[in-house]
Amino acid sequence: MAIYGYIRVSSMDQNEARQVNALSELGIESDHLFIDKQSGKDFNRPNYQALIKKLKPGDVVYVYSIDRLGRNYEEIQKEWRVLTKENGVDMVVVDMPLLDTRTEKNLMGTFIADLVLQILSFVAQTEREAIKKRQAEGIAAAKARGVKFGRPELELPQEFDEWVKKCESHEVTVKDLCRHFSISKNTYYKYKKRRIPLK
Per-residue pLDDT tens digits for 89-101: 999 999 888 788 8
From residue 169, alpha-carbon distances to 161, 179, 198 in Å are 12, 18, 14
Evaluate if pTM is beyond 0.75.
no
The rounded distance, in Å, linking the Cα atoms of 49 and 36 is: 10
Q: How many CB atoms lie within 10 A of CB 74?
A: 10
> Residue 57, exposed/middle/buried by CB under 10 A (0-12, 13-18, 19+)?
exposed
Sign of CA dihedral 67, 70, 71, 74: negative
The rounded distance, in Å, linking the Cα atoms of 119 and 159 is: 65
| Marked catalytic residue, from 10, 30, 39, 184 | 10
Would you call 121 a catalytic residue per the annotation?
A: no
pLDDT band at 199 (very low <50, low <70, confident <90, very high): very low
For residue 124, pLDDT beyond 80: no
The rounded distance, in Å, linking the Cα atoms of 133 and 126 is: 11
Q: What is the pLDDT of residue 61?
A: 95
